[in-house]
Amino acid sequence: MRILHLVHRAWPYHGGAERYVLEHAAAASRWGHESTILATDAWDMSWMVRGKGSHLERDEIVWRGVPIRRFAVRHPPMQSLLRAVLRRLAPGGPDRYFYPNPFVPSLQRFLRRDRGFDFVHANAMPFLLYMGWRYARKFGCGLVSVPHANVGERFRRTSEIRYFAGEQPRILRESSLVIAQSDFEAGLFRSMGVPPERILVLGSGIDPSELSERTDRRQSMGLVPPVVLGMTAHCVQKGSTDLLRAALRLWEEGEEFTLVLAGPILPDAEAVLAEVGCEAPPGRLVVTGYVRQEERASIIASADLVALPSRLDCFGIILLEAWFMRKPVIGCWSGAMPDLISDGENGFLVPFGDGPTLAHRIKILLGNPEMGKEMGESGSRLVRGDYTWDKRTDIFYSRLACLEGGAR
């Protein structure tokens, strides 16, 4: 089979959805299939809507045997007014045209012709799920939809339901297969009328080989132990400002540790970072900026615990990576984290925005290294047993092979 993978960004950018797509595309050859990835030319999310920040060349490359083709994001004048009109009048408008869904007319034109694909694997953003659905309907191929739905905590959803305000519920109902990252997400899809037999709770994974090749970077980075690591694209919804304020609270109480924020700092977190940076003890707050994939393992190896108090992550691959290295983790009651973390056993869970509780859990782990070691060992057994990319992608392709009438 020939499989078309749609995603908003692709290698060399490294993020959760981007890595998920790359691993599934690369694994296709193991099952006798061919894959192609189509993505935008964006690097920074700001390029999606404002034409600011970094972007990549609009070219075609091959990585790990997978062709990757990028299409240009366009930035029309009076964009906010245009989006408002399109949200009201265009098919799929209410979710397809809200920020940060970009305008990518060349990708739309490319998908107007039959390219010979048997399945479309559409990921992450409504405009891509819509394009994949239109292509599948027009040319009679199968559709796998993967919304990577970020709607908050299980019992406290976010108000950003515009994500599902247009055609997306219909797209999911008409998909050959819908991939959920968690039981919570699967329940959301069932509530939209997606038949349970067409939902696969899959999750993500790790590559043990790349995480085994690492060096402790404490000395080269000037890190004074113990080290608390937050590794993500840092913003309010990712819990990064809560982590900063929790760290400041603990420093004021006399706790001695280094907080490392690895990853880009998005605009809504910059003010809190500046505030905490002025009050942090000298050398105790380290900000790395964007982390290349080959650097991730060494930075994680340098940490004593990893925190992801985010309600925006539908899975949280960093938790798997930390567990592989036997590090204790702190997550949030959102996305797949309650499926992965047994609170108090292999890590801690905290409510989103609850800085005092987050500070308390960090303090517990800093003061009880043996507890942290036991939690890390427990998490490591889970990851090594179930959450490698080979195992996750084999589940995906086994299910794809069982679909009737999906391929031409």
Give the domain CATH number at 55: 3.40.50.2000
| Percent of the chain clearing pLDDT 90 (strictly above) | 76
Contact status, residue 344 vs residue 311, Cβ threshold 8 Å: no
Peptide bond into 195 cis (omega under 30): no
Q: Is residue 33 part of a domain?
A: yes
- What is the pLDDT confidence band of residue 405, given thresholds at 50, 70 and 90? low
User: With 80 as the cut, is the pLDDT of residue 353 above it?
Assistant: yes
Mean pLDDT score across all residues of the chain: 92
Q: Is residue 216 part of a domain?
A: yes
Task: Give the three-state DSSP class for 289.
Answer: strand
Instruction: Specify the pLDDT at position 59.
Output: 81
My answer on whether 148 and 290 are in the same domain is no
Has this prediction a pTM greater than 0.85?
yes
d(CA 312, CA 37): 24
My answer on whether 201 and 230 are in the same domain is no
My answer on whether 79 and 135 are in the same domain is yes
Instruction: Specify the pLDDT at position 154.
Output: 67
Instruction: Specify the pLDDT at position 310.
Output: 94
User: With 80 as the cut, is the pLDDT of residue 130 above it?
Assistant: yes
| Percent of the chain clearing pLDDT 70 (strictly above) | 96
Q: Which of 149-153, 168-172, 236-240 is the least confident region?
A: 149-153
* Domain of 66, in residue numbers: 2-205+388-402
Q: Is residue 407 part of a domain?
A: no
d(CA 200, CA 202): 6
Beta-strand runs (E) in 84-132: 119-123
User: With 60 as the cut, is the pLDDT of residue 76 above it?
Assistant: yes
Q: Is residue 137 part of a domain?
A: yes
My answer on whether 148 and 250 are in the same domain is no
My answer on whether 81 and 26 are in the same domain is yes
Q: What average pLDDT does the segment 374-394 reach?
A: 95
d(CA 302, CA 218): 6
Instruction: Specify the pLDDT at position 212.
Output: 84
* Vertex 53 angle, CA 50 and 59, to 5°: 95
Instruction: Specify the pLDDT at position 404.
Output: 58
My answer on whether 195 and 240 are in the same domain is no
Instruction: Specify the pLDDT at position 155.
Output: 66
How many separate domains does the chain show? 2
My answer on whether 36 and 102 are in the same domain is yes
My answer on whether 21 and 122 are in the same domain is yes
User: With 60 as the cut, is the pLDDT of residue 322 above it?
Assistant: yes
Q: Is residue 252 part of a domain?
A: yes
Q: What average pLDDT does the segment 35-54 reach?
A: 92
User: With 60 as the cut, is the pLDDT of residue 107 above it?
Assistant: yes
Q: Is residue 19 part of a domain?
A: yes
Q: Which of 156-160, 231-235, 394-398 is the least confident region?
A: 156-160
My answer on whether 251 and 128 are in the same domain is no
Q: What is the 3-state secondary structure (H, E, C) of 55-89?
A: ECCCCEEEECCEEEEEECCECCCCHHHHHHHHHHH
User: With 90 as the cut, is the pLDDT of residue 300 above it?
Assistant: yes
Q: What average pLDDT does the segment 146-172 reach?
A: 77
My answer on whether 372 and 395 are in the same domain is no
My answer on whether 77 and 221 are in the same domain is no
**pLDDT tens digits, 184-234:** 889 989 999 999 999 999 999 999 998 887 777 888 888 889 999 999 999
User: With 80 as the cut, is the pLDDT of residue 305 above it?
Assistant: yes
Contact status, residue 332 vs residue 349, Cβ threshold 8 Å: yes
User: With 80 as the cut, is the pLDDT of residue 150 above it?
Assistant: no
My answer on whether 228 and 309 are in the same domain is yes
Instruction: Specify the pLDDT at position 45.
Output: 87
User: With 90 as the cut, is the pLDDT of residue 288 above it?
Assistant: yes
Which range scores top for mean pLDDT: 11-20, 91-100, 350-359?
350-359
**pLDDT tens digits, 241-272:** 999 999 999 999 999 999 999 999 988 999 99
Q: Is residue 145 part of a domain?
A: yes
Q: Is residue 408 part of a domain?
A: no
